[in-house]
């Protein structure tokens, strides 16, 4: 039996969209954590992030002191480009000829949509570590852009040559991934001695996560319960989880302060619901896709550090 678009979309809504679909990146801790606090916006030329870049007037004073009223510029604006990702799949003539009956169609449609979800999730999980530009089209302005040490290359529209505190923090010295090694990593990313000024996430490989765990005494090994409940094995270092991500590069630890990061989505492209439509070039094929547009923005580049030569021992 030939499928109609109405039948496919009806089955998609009744049997698939009514279920909890895993589009929230539960295999990838950084995206999972950022998406839990994601923001939506309705548009704009760029995604703008206000930065506090200076202090006002201050000093000591006495009876004859003239208090300065000089205007001082204390704000700047980082401007991040829109990024976008999609995943799609189709049902073609062979699919329609081989699958008959409601149960067969449901199984086929469910499998195709699950594949779309997995494909999108893996593409975005890899992209968040990159400055993901393909043929001039932007995906994530991700961690590769945040940690680009070329002072002439703009990040958020600002270069380190223009504003020195905007320089990326990257350490290429050899470091052992034990407790003292993570202390060094933390210090580079620290902007204040309170909790707000310290990293709250360490992203690394499974090998280095295990090495850090092995360096601790058994009785002082703790985990972040919320991340464990979400399926992420982790070890706490100074109240921040050390967690492995399969997308992370070997020998690398990224110390991140996620309070300074924003996962921003366009409200009209926030993981669009898949809807089947006819392929205009193939009359017997029907296509569905999921689309997302937004960006990862950052309000303080000093609050993150990358170490590229971390070893297990």
Record: fold of 5-17+29-52+76-311: phage-related protein like fold (3.90.1690)
pLDDT at residue 20 in the model:
46
Question: Would you kindly state where each structural domain of the chain is located, as residue ranges?
Answer: 5-17+29-52+76-311
Contact 79, 138 (CB under 8 A): no
List the one residue out of 162, 177, 194, 147 whose CA is nearest residue 296. Answer: 147
Assessment of whether the complete model's pTM goes beyond 0.85: yes
Nearest-5° angle of CA 239, CA 176, CA 125?
Answer: 60
pLDDT at residue 55 in the model:
81
pLDDT at residue 18 in the model:
60
For the chain, list residues with pLDDT below 70. Answer: 1, 15-26, 74, 219
* Lookup: tokens for 62: 């006495």
């Amino acid at each position: 039996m030939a499928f109609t678009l109405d039948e496919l979309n009806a089955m998609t809504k009744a049997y698939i969209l009514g279920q909890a679909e895993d589009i929230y990146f539960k295999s990838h801790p950084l995206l999972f954590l950022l998406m839990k606090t994601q923001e939506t916006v309705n548009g704009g030329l760029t995604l703008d992030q206000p930065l506090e870049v200076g202090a006002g007037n201050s000093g000591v004073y006495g009876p004859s002191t003239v208090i300065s009223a000089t205007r001082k510029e204390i704000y700047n604006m980082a401007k991040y480009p829109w990024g976008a990702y999609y995943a799609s799949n189709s049902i073609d003539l062979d699919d329609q000829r081989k699958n008959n009956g409601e149960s067969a169609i449901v199984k086929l449609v469910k499998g195709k949509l699950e594949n779309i979800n997995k494909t999108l999730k893996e593409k975005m999980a890899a992209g968040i570590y990159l400055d993901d530009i393909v043929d001039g089209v932007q995906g994530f302005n991700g961690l590769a852009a945040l940690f680009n040490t070329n002072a002439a290359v703009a990040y958020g529209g600002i270069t380190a040559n223009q504003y020195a505190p905007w320089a990326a923090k990257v350490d290429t010295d050899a470091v052992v991934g034990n407790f003292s090694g993570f202390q060094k990593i933390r210090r580079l990313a620290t902007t204040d001695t309170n909790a707000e000024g310290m990293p709250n996430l360490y992203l690394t490989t499974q090998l280095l996560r295990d090495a850090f765990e092995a360096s601790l005494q058994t009785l002082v090994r703790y985990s972040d319960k919320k991340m464990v409940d979400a399926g992420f094995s982790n070890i706490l270092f100074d109240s921040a989880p050390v967690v492995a991500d399969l997308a992370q590069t070997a020998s690398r630890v990224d110390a991140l302060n996620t309070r300074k990061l924003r996962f921003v989505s366009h409200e009209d492209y926030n993981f669009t619901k898949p809807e089947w439509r006819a392929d205009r070039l193939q009359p017997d094929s029907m296509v569905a896709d999921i689309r997302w547009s937004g960006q990862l923005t950052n309000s303080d580049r000093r609050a993150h550090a990358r170490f590229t030569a971390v070893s297990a021992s």
